[in-house]
Structure 1
Amino acid sequence: MAVDRLLPTPEAADLLALTREIADKELAPRASDHEAAGTYPEGLFATLGHAGLLGLAYPEEYGGGGQPYEVWLQVLEELAARWAAVAVATSVHTLACHPLSAFGTEAQKERWLPDMLSGGLVGGYSLSEPQAGSDAAALKCKAERTDEGYRITGTKAWITHGGKADFYALFARTAPGSRGVSCFLAPGATEGLSFGAPERKMGLQAVPTTSAYWDGATLEADRLIGEEGQGLQIAFSALDRGRLGIAACATGLAQAALDAAIDYAQQRSTFGRRIIDHQGLGFMLADMAAAVDAARATYLDAARRSDAGHPFSRQASVAKLVATDAAMKVTTDAVQVLGGYGYTMDFPVERYMREAKIMQIFEGTNQIQRLVISRSLAA
């Protein structure tokens, strides 16, 4: 079901129409087969890049789309409604571009950013470690200064697009303490960098999530983004936007589950009536629709604050919390609406339910989001 959106400009409406066309043609027909087989959609991100969908939120002077975040997130939602794994990887790519765009020098941006925004280079985000997920200050991966640049040693974890990405926004320790973490733009093909086998996940099978092993690999000095010790500031500034990306992905996934449930309820009949006309099930669908609309409203509120230059950290956490909890409930209820069929792989709702779970976990667990929100209230 096409969402009736309130968009800021006619250009934005045309962009959403283009996104739906591409998503219906390139994503929707391939999602189920790739997810079932766990195969990577080779060439798909280049297609999205050529259409201009990978750099929409970035400046036009570097090849981006110059679109407000409010519009970009709705594009991401449309992608997620067709294929959640691709939308999540697209969100991560956008997140990985942020350090260079926001903190890089003019020379660095001119050298790398156009290829990143056009999809010529697809990115991953390498912050987490086996012992450091939400606690980013506990990073142990080291970046030691040498005559050649920086020697990187350590293990990173939970990297979306791990082993497939052309570059990684890498966070490593250059000194002790919370101000000792630095950010690097690391090439994916670096001698001394290797990747583990893809994690065996509940969902999002088509895009790998891996660990990375840095065995004394060397990065040139100009791969440092920002100043030494500025890494956590860079990481946290990017994570607010990353949380909004996941909120948009979760909303798109919930919308897809709602659409599947409505379609089934309109076609299935019991006791001489369509099941959608039975009040008990109709009310369940109404609650699902309200949850999707509420999720969309929270991420749009945060995005509009960001676009206006206002603080939006608390609103980003609210959006991530509300949208991902909504996705978990709506996808679970969609399985219930379909009954026995919902539990089979013949219908997509069981996959939607599995995909929804991780959205309550990555980009900061929902328990962390509650911590962020509660601390803002106490400030």
Structure 2
Amino acid sequence: MPEYGPRPVERSLPTAEARDLLALVRELTQREIAPTAAEDEEAGRFPRETFRLLSESGLLSLPYDSEYGGGDQPYEVYLQVVEELAAARLTVGLGTSVHTLACHAVAEFGSKEQRAELLPAMLGGGLLGAYCLSEPAAGSDAASLTTRATRDGDDWVVEGGKAWITHGGIADFYTVLARTGGPGPRGISAFLVPGDAPGLSAAEPERKMGMRGSPTAQVHFDGVRVPDARRLGDEGQGFSIALAALQSGRLGIAACAVGVAQAALDQSLAYLAERHQFGRPIGDFQGLRFMVADMATQIEAGRALYLTAARLRDAGQPFARQAAMAKLFCTDAAMRITTDAVQLLGGYGYTLDFPVERLMRDAKCLQIVEGTNQIQRVVIARDLLGPEAR
């Protein structure tokens, strides 16, 4: 199967350390991930050993505090690492973003004792996390979730089910949002549940059109007991904890989308140089040149947008609107770019022998996860018009 290596990408990196880090990641992806990505995705193989390697290398803990085993890297740097991982194989890039999302509640809302006890293993102990918010009847309307946690002495007993959970059934820990009070967002609390908790189970993974190596499954809680020491934040604070995590998680999805789009562009450029028609490389034809020019422009714009949002986050400034814009723009661009790559390769693009059809199938997922792009437009408009606007 033809696989073309990535072309150098101009990066906006704040330090020499960050440049060295990204060079290390690129070398790792080309050695350990990219060579078998197509085969592993077709077979539906989850790369658990790859995630162990990333954990050992400190790449699953980059944006968190070194006091607890993190890498002390700004989001500006972390997201560019995610982009590189996604360009090699989206299952790995998205999995890294989801793991970071699953750690967020402990890192940002956990007590000092919880952070000291839990985070070192979560960040650098070879563990893999999952994030449990969506339910079969509570997707975009997450505040209507029905999974319930009932107080029983020093424990909470969790009953219900979650849906569309990345790493469902294989995660070592789950950040779970459950109802502990009345209806609406103020009745939701957050918990950290071990993956081997009695009563926790997962359904068979969903049969997806793309990202076949990344298990997505329903997760069921049948009388799962969780100590109150594993409740994160205050009772009733869970929905705000979830929204805070999703703001950052949307940037991870944007970075993944740019990585997938960059991989499609790399494949397209190599094919334009290699394929000859009418006695010359097809890259000489203006119509195809215009296609890759548009692809490259959208990639640069998307990368600039997610980095702008990341810098706002790193500076401690509001970034929710910019995160939603980045998720919206980058994932829509990835869908357009991968579709154009299939078209540019002609019949070959539609075959499994070339990777662009896989990139197109993978890109579609990114327009849906962590808030559909229709929800991103709601978030953006609400921020522009103010909370009172209807």
In the TM superposition, residue 220 of structure 1 has moved relative to its aligned partner by 1.1
Report the secondary structure of 1:255's partner residue. helix
Deviates more, 1:72-81 or 1:145-154: 145-154
Match of 1:147 among 153, 176, 187: 153
Report the secondary structure of 2:192's partner residue. strand
How many Å separate the matches in 1 of 2:227 and 2:39? 41
Match of 1:227 in 2: 234
4+ residue segments displaced more than 3 Å: none
How many Å separate the matches in 2 of 1:319 and 1:41? 28
Contact 1:125 1:159 in 2 (8 A): yes
Match of 2:92 in 1: 86
In the TM superposition, residue 148 of structure 1 has moved relative to its aligned partner by 4.3
Contact 1:195 1:212 in 2 (8 A): yes
Match of 1:345 in 2: 352
How many Å separate the matches in 2 of 1:47 and 1:352? 24
The one-letter amino acid of 1:128's match is S
In the TM superposition, residue 30 of structure 1 has moved relative to its aligned partner by 2.0
In the TM superposition, residue 211 of structure 1 has moved relative to its aligned partner by 0.2
How many Å separate the matches in 1 of 2:205 and 2:363? 19
How many Å separate the matches in 1 of 2:48 and 2:329? 33
How many Å separate the matches in 2 of 1:43 and 1:263? 30
Alignment of 1:251-270 (within 5 A): 251-270=258-277
Task: Show structure 2 runs of 5+ residues with no match.
Answer: 1-6
Contact 1:31 1:82 in 2 (8 A): yes
Contact 1:161 1:207 in 2 (8 A): yes
Report the secondary structure of 2:8's partner residue. coil
Match of 2:370 among 363, 367, 370: 363
Match of 2:4 in 1: none
Q: Percent identity?
A: 58
Give CA-to-partner distance per residue, 1:193-241, whole Å, 9 cap, x none. 1100000001111120000111111111111000110000100000000
Match of 2:323 among 307, 312, 316: 316
Whether 1:301 and 2:303 are equivalent positions in the alignment is no
Deviates more, 1:137-146 or 1:113-122: 113-122
Match of 2:21 in 1: 15
How many Å separate the matches in 1 of 2:362 and 2:12? 28
Under a length normalisation based on structure 2, what TM-score does the superposition of the two structures give? 0.96
Match of 1:330 in 2: 337
Alignment of 1:1-379 (within 5 A): 1-177=7-183, 178-379=185-386
Contact 1:183 1:226 in 2 (8 A): yes
The one-letter amino acid of 1:252's match is G
How many Å separate the matches in 1 of 2:205 and 2:247? 26
In the TM superposition, residue 272 of structure 1 has moved relative to its aligned partner by 1.5
How many Å separate the matches in 2 of 1:98 and 1:42? 21
In the TM superposition, residue 119 of structure 1 has moved relative to its aligned partner by 4.3
Contact 1:85 1:207 in 2 (8 A): yes
In the TM superposition, residue 120 of structure 1 has moved relative to its aligned partner by 2.2
The one-letter amino acid of 2:314's match is D
Task: Show structure 1 runs of 5+ residues with no match.
Answer: none
How many Å separate the matches in 1 of 2:262 and 2:201? 38
Report the secondary structure of 2:153's partner residue. coil
Contact 1:148 1:218 in 2 (8 A): no
* Count of aligned positions: 379
Under a length normalisation based on structure 1, what TM-score does the superposition of the two structures give? 0.99
In the TM superposition, residue 6 of structure 1 has moved relative to its aligned partner by 2.1
Contact 1:240 1:317 in 2 (8 A): yes
How many Å separate the matches in 1 of 2:317 and 2:179? 31
Q: 1:222–1:181: structure 2 CA closer, same or farther, 3 Å change rule? A: same
In the TM superposition, residue 34 of structure 1 has moved relative to its aligned partner by 1.1
